[in-house]
Amino acid sequence: MTNRIAELRKARKISQVELADGVDVTRQTIISLESGRYNASLLLAHKIARYFGLTIEEVFLFEEETT
Amino acid sequence: MKNWFKKTVPFVMFAAAWALILAAFLLGERVPKQISLALFTLGGLLLGFGAVGIALSRIHVSPELLKEYERGEKDERNVAIREKAAMSSWYWTLYMLWAVFMAIQIFVGGLWGVAISVVIVLHCAFYMVNIHRWNKKL
């Protein structure tokens, strides 16, 4: 799972702290999400997508695992 | 009411702790050693909890810092970290208990081996009880 959080945030000139405040998580969670170390829950994914005014699919990119 | 209760409890604990310790001193050798030890232990525990509670109630935290603290508490990544840490701790405790169990069986034996077996069974039983509890909840 990859995401466009950093890209969307930078395009809109929003700081990590502002995004964290907006979706009610810590800044460390935003850092982990952006670096791909942590995958957001469905609830947080929904909050982040709504914060950017987009759908979950537009923010979070699900990549099918190839075997 | 709840707030008043929360504020009062540490002071009650602190007072009760001193009462217990004082009782242990006053009763001296008139009571069995175990009772005296129990009074001191309970007094010490209450003294610790009471003192910490009073100290925490004296600390004035700004609303922003309090909000940040509360957010950190329910932040989903922090919750996930705590759960993973708890799970790892459970396994490590089990490995250590097994190591102690083996060492006792080899070098000591007797009732200590039985005691550590009971602890291992309880450790696993609590885990299974909680699995069942959460299985129902989620």
- Domain of A47, CATH number, reads 1.10.260.40
Does residue B112 lie in a domain region? yes
Does residue A66 lie in a domain region? no
Lowest-confidence region among A51-55, B76-80, B106-110, B133-137: B106-110
Whether residue B130 sits in one domain with residue B81: yes
What's the CA gap between B102 and B117, in Å, rounded? 10
Q: Which residue of A has its CA nearest to B76?
A: A25
Confidence category of residue B59, pLDDT binned at 50, 70, 90:
confident
Q: Which residue of A has its CA nearest to B75?
A: A25
Does residue B95 lie in a domain region? yes
Q: What is the pLDDT of residue A65?
A: 61
Average pLDDT over chain B, rounded to an integer: 89
Nearest to B55 by CA among B4, B17, B18, B14: B14
Number of domains in chain A: 1
pTM score of the predicted model: 0.70
Q: Which residue of B has its CA nearest to A45?
A: B76
Number of domains in chain B: 2
Whether residue B80 sits in one domain with residue B51: no
B positions 56-95 inside 8 Å of A (CB) = 68, 71-72, 75-78, 80
What's the CA gap between B37 and A1, in Å, rounded? 58
Residues of B in contact with A26 (CB under 8 A): 68, 71-72, 75, 77-78
Contact A28, B77 (CB under 8 A): yes
Does residue B41 lie in a domain region? yes
Q: Which domain holds residue A32?
A: 2-61
Whether residue B54 sits in one domain with residue B103: no
Does residue B91 lie in a domain region? yes
Residue of A17, A26, A28, A42 to mutate when probing chain B, most B C-beta within 10 A: A26
Q: Which domain holds residue B96?
A: 75-137
Whether residue B54 sits in one domain with residue B82: no
Distance (Å) from the alpha carbon of A21 to chain B's nearest alpha carbon:
9
Does residue B90 lie in a domain region? yes
Residues with pLDDT less than 50, chain A: none
- Partner-chain contact A44 B72, CB within 8 Å: no
Does residue A34 lie in a domain region? yes
